[in-house]
Amino acid sequence: MTTTKQSTFSATLRTTILLASLTGLLVVIGALIGGPSTAAVFLVIALLINLGSYFWSDKLALSMAKAQPIEESDNPRLFEIVRELTTRAGLPMPRLYMIPNDQPNAFATGRNPKHSAVAVTRGITKLLSEDELRGVLAHELTHIRNRDILIQSVASAIGAAITYLAYMLMWFGNDDNSPLGAIAAISLVLLAPISATIIQLAISRQREYAADAGGAEICGNPESLASALLRLEQGAQAMPMQVNQAAEPLFIVRPFKGKGIAGLFSTHPPIDERVKRLRQMRPSL
């Protein structure tokens, strides 16, 4: 099995596990709240959420970023670079979008390689060298190859479901007024959202590391991606983007300012660590 096929199989397996986890979570908490009948209702809700994540996550992401579709005549060089990289990666050509924002940043979206899109900001096309831009685009194509956006969308749905249903369980799931039941419900309300956040952060950060490694492999130059990440972080700090916070995990670098404690809860790993890992790859390529 080739590396690309292994990556696709692994991504599909992770997605299946996440979708099953979301369904199981909703059914179990539904049963705790109202028994088998409520569990059945939540099973239907789970299926609807799964379908929504699968078919519409890309449209929502592009809308949140105010991305506009572009044609090859609008930016021939960008199309040329993406076409070259997709050939190397064995991927179909994604749709390309431009975000009318001067912050240098980019993201990929889409449920699978055949239904994918890459969006870049106006700022990134002005700031980065061609080699650096190639590294960034290779990173985003790796997200597409690994189906990371679908995985992240489902992980977000799991987190939202855990939080919402934990509150429902506290208010509707303790009919016997038992003190122990009340304590258990309160504990669930407090711990479930925290656990969900930790899971989402772990998933997002690991996917970023994997996309960095895959991007370096596709473009053949880890240093160009490392250099781009450093410049992108500086640009993002200097020009924070006004965008829905739910869109944060999509971008290659965090689009908001976030140092200290706020940085601990970022969906992105520290840039210094990402650069360190990329530069450790350089001798092996």
Instruction: Name the residue range of residue 82's domain.
Output: 57-284
Residue 48 within any structural domain of the chain: no
Q: Rounded to an integer, what distance in angstroms lies between the CA atom of residue 231 and that of residue 225?
A: 10
* Among 144, 97, 94, 101, CA closest to 124: 101
Residues catalogued as catalytic: 140
100, pLDDT greater than 80: yes
* Residues in the chain, overall count: 285
70, pLDDT greater than 90: yes
Residue, of 122 and 283, whose pLDDT is higher: 122
Quote the pLDDT of residue 4. Answer: 47
Residue 21 within any structural domain of the chain: no
Tell me the mean pLDDT in the region 125-137.
97
Take residue 135 and report the two structure tokens written for it.
């590294």
Quote the pLDDT of residue 249. Answer: 81
Edge-to-edge strands of the sheet including 106-112?
68-69, 95-99, 115-121, 106-112
Quote the pLDDT of residue 11. Answer: 54
Residue 234 within any structural domain of the chain: yes
Give the rounded percent of residues in the chain with a pLDDT score beyond 90: 42
Give residue for tokens 């983007």. 241
Residue 40 within any structural domain of the chain: no
181, pLDDT greater than 80: no
Residue 61 within any structural domain of the chain: yes
Helix axes 76-89, 179-219, angle to 10 degrees: 100
Beta bridge partners of 108: 118
Mean of the per-residue pLDDT values of the chain? 81
- Please state the domain count of the chain: 1
pLDDT band per the 50, 70, 90 thresholds, residue 196: low
Give the rounded percent of residues in the chain with a pLDDT score beyond 70: 69
Residue 39 within any structural domain of the chain: no
Residue 38 within any structural domain of the chain: no
What's 121's domain CATH number? 3.30.2010.10
Q: Alpha helix (H) ranges present in the chain?
A: 3-34, 36-64, 76-89, 122-127, 130-145, 148-172, 179-219, 222-238, 261-264, 271-281
Report yes or no: 111 and 147 within 8 Å, Cβ to Cβ.
yes
Residue 6 within any structural domain of the chain: no
Q: Rounded to an integer, what distance in angstroms lies between the CA atom of residue 28 and that of residue 283?
A: 49
